[in-house]
Chain A
Amino acid sequence: MKSKIAEAFDNCRKEKRPALITYTVAGDNTKNNSLKILNRISKYADILELGFAHNTPIADGGQIQGSSHRALKNGIRLKDVFQIVKKFKKNNSDKPIILMGYYNLIYQNGENNFLKSCKSSGVDGLIIVDLPYPENKSFASKCKKKKINFIQLLSPTTSRERMKKIIKVSHDMIYYISMLSTTGGKLKVTPKKILQNYNMIKRINSKKNLVIGFGITDKTISSLKSANGLVVGSMLCKTITNSLKMGQNPVTKLDKVVYNLKKKII
Chain B
Amino acid sequence: MLEEPVLDRLWGIPGAGYAGKMLSMAAKKFGLKCKIFMGAKDIKRQRPNVEAMRKNGAEIVPVTTGSQTLVDAVSECMRYWVSNCDTTHMCVGSTVGPNIFIKICAFSTAQISRELIKQVKEEFGQIPKKLKLINCVGGGSSAAGFWNEFMDTHAEFIGVEAGGPRNSKLHAAPLTNGSKIGILHGAAQYVIQDKEGQIGSTESISAGLDYPGISPLHCFLKDTKRARYTSATDEEALKAYQLVSKLENISPSLEPSHAFAEAIKLAPKLRSSEVIVVNSCGDSLKDKDIIKQKLGSYVR
Report the minimal beta-carbon distance from A65 to chain B, rounded to whole angstroms: 7
B85/A55 in contact, CB under 8 A: no
Complex-state Cα separation, A136 to B180, whole angstroms: 21
A104 to B184, Cβ gap below 8 A?
A: yes
Query: Which one of B2, B185, B198 contacts A58 once the chains associate, using CB atoms below 8 Å?
Result: B185
**Contact status A56-B1, CB under 8 Å:** no
Residue B79 CB within 8 A of the other chain: yes
Q: Is the C-beta of A134 less than 8 angstroms from some C-beta in chain B?
A: no
| Bound complex: CA A166 to CA B289 (Å) | 52
**Among B138-146, B167-175, B189-197, the stretch in contact with A:** B189-197
Q: Is the CB of B82 within 8 A of A109?
A: no
Please state if B2 and A108 are interface contacts (CB–CB under 8 Å).
no
Taken together as a complex, chains A and B put the C-alpha atoms of A57 and B184 apart, in Å, by 10
B85 touches A102 (CB 8 A): no
Smallest CB separation, A242 vs chain B (Å): 20
Q: How far is it, in angstroms, between the C-alpha of A234 and the C-alpha of B185 when the chains are bound?
A: 22
A121 at the interface (CB under 8 A from B): no
CB-CB under 8 A for A108 and B83, given A130-B186, A157-B1: no
Counting CB contacts under 8 A, is B19 at the interface? no
Interface size of A by CB at 8 A reads 32
Which of A226-263 touch B at CB < 8 Å? none
Chain B: which residue is nearest A60 at the CB level? B79
Chain B residues at the A interface, C-beta cutoff of 8 Å = 1-2, 65-66, 71, 75, 78-79, 82-86, 180-186, 193, 195-199
List 13 additional contacts besides A56-B66, A72-B198, A105-B198; criterion CB under 8 Å.
A55-B199, A60-B79, A65-B65, A104-B193, A107-B181, A107-B182, A107-B183, A108-B195, A109-B196, A130-B183, A157-B2, A181-B82, A197-B1
22 contacts between A and B (CB under 8 A): A54-B197, A55-B66, A55-B198, A56-B184, A57-B75, A58-B185, A72-B198, A78-B196, A102-B183, A105-B196, A105-B198, A108-B180, A108-B195, A156-B1, A157-B1, A157-B2, A158-B1, A160-B1, A181-B82, A182-B82, A197-B1, A200-B1
